[in-house]
Amino acid sequence: VAGNFSYDGTNGPSHWGKEYKTCLGKYQSPIDIEEKDVTTMTFPELQFSGVEGSHKAYMTNNGHTVMIQSFDSNVPSISGGPINSTYVFQQLHFHWGPNDNQGSEDLINNHSFSMELHVVLWKKEYGSYDEAIKRDDGLTVLGYLYQATDEPNPMFESIVQQIPDIVGVGSNITISDNNVLKKLVAPDIASAQNYFTYRGSLTTPPCLEIVQWIDFVKPQHISHEQLAAFRSIQSADGTNLTHNFRPVQPLDGRTVYRNIA
Ligand code: SG5
Ligand code: ZN
C-alpha cells in the first residue's frame, strides 16, 4: 500500500507538501486545460505496441485506487507522439469523485468529468520503473476521461463485476477477462492522435515532476451504476474511498500543446 496520504483532512492534498516537498513544485499535475490557451503542434504519430492479444492481469485495491497490473510476456508500450523513445506499461488506475459531477483530475475548460483513467508507462531505456522514476523524463501517463451516462460501457463490465472482491485495502485478484488491457489502454485508435500534452508530475505523493502527460481529447462514457462500484472500495482507514482526485495545480507558464494530426 503506497504512502501515508489521503484525499481528506490532515493527510489531504493541501497537506501533502509538508512531508513531500515536491508536491509544492512548479510543474505539478493535474491542471485545468483551457482550449483557448493551447498551442497546436503536429507531433509524429503516437504508436501503440503489444496491446493486441490477451494479457493476464491483476486488480488491486492499493488504498488509493483500483489498480491493474500485468505480469504477462505481452507488454503494452507506446512510442512517437511527444515522446522520442519507447515507454513500457507499468500499471493503470482510476480517479473518481463523490458524485458524477466530479472525479477527473485534469479539467478541460474548467469542466470536471466523472472519472479519469491513468495508464502509467516508464522509459524503456532506463531498464526498470524504479530507475526511470529517478530521471526527469522517466514516465508518460495517458489520461482518458469518462462522463457518467445511463448507458453502461461494456469495457468496464468485467472490472465492475470483480470490484466487490477487492473492497478491502491490499486485496489482489486475477481479472477473469484477459482482454481488459486491450480495451482500456488503446480503446479507440481513430481518436488516438487527438490529445493534449504537457509536462507535469505524479498526482499523488511524492508528486515527482517527471511525467509527460498525454490527455485524450474525446471523452468516453461510463454508467452511473458502474461508477458507483468504484466508490465502494475502502481506503486505509476503513471508510469508503468515495473520491480520489487531486485538485488542479497552477500552470505557472507551462505550455499545453494540442496535437493536430
Ligand atoms: C506512481 O504514481 C505510483 C503509484 C501512484 C501513481 O506511479 O507508483 C507505482 O506505480 C509503483 C509501482 O502508486 C502505486 O501504484 C502504488 C503501488 O498512485 C496510484 O496508483 C494511486 C492513485 C500516481 O500516478 S498518477 O500520477 O498517474 N495519478
Ligand atoms: Zn492517476
pLDDT tens digits for range 211-223: 999 999 999 999 9
State the closest ligand 1 atom to the C-alpha of 29, by its place in the atom list counted from 1. 26
The answer on pLDDT for 261 being more than 90 is no
- Total-model pTM: 0.96
Output the CA–CA distances (angstroms, integers) from residue 182 to 56, 57, 76, 178, 256, in the order listed.
Answer: 11, 11, 9, 9, 28
Q: Which ligand gives the minimal distance to the CA of 60?
A: 1
Q: Using alpha carbons only, what angle is made at residue 164 by residues 65 and 148, rounded to the nearest 5 degrees?
A: 60
Give tens-digit pLDDT for 31-54: 999 999 999 999 999 999 999 999
Closest CA to 121 of 218, 51, 20, 26: 51
Output the CA–CA distances (angstroms, integers) from residue 18 to 27, 29, 30, 204, 205, in the order listed.
Answer: 17, 17, 19, 13, 11
Q: Is 0.85 exceeded by the ipTM?
A: yes
Place of cell 465492475: 160
State the closest ligand 1 atom to the C-alpha of 203, by its place in the atom list counted from 1. 26
Active site residues: 64
Cβ neighbours around 232 below 10 Å, total: 13
C-alpha of residue 86 to centroid of ligand 2, in Å: 20
Closest CA to 15 of 260, 250, 258, 246: 246
State the closest ligand 1 atom to the C-alpha of 211, by its place in the atom list counted from 1. 26
| pLDDT for 3 | 63
| pLDDT for 1 | 38
Probe residue for ligand 1, chosen from 65, 91, 119, 185 as the CB with the greatest number of ligand atoms within 8 Å = 91
Cβ atoms of residues 230 and 245 within 8 Å: no
Which letter does DSSP use for residue 261 in this model? -
Which letter does DSSP use for residue 100 in this model? T
C-alpha of residue 94 to centroid of ligand 2, in Å: 6
Give tens-digit pLDDT for 179-197: 999 999 998 888 999 999 9
Beta strands in 66-187 (DSSP E): 66-70, 77-80, 83-96, 107-108, 115-123, 139-149, 172-174
Probe residue for ligand 1, chosen from 87, 89, 93 as the CB with the greatest number of ligand atoms within 8 Å = 93
Place of cell 517527471: 210
Q: Which ligand gives the minimal distance to the CA of 2?
A: 1
Atom 7, ligand 1: which residue's CA is nearest?
A: 120
Ligand 1 pocket, residues with Cβ under 6 angstroms: 2, 62, 64-65, 67, 90-91, 93, 118, 120, 129, 141, 202-204
Output the CA–CA distances (angstroms, integers) from residue 246 to 72, 94, 105, 179, 233, in the order listed.
Answer: 31, 12, 6, 29, 18
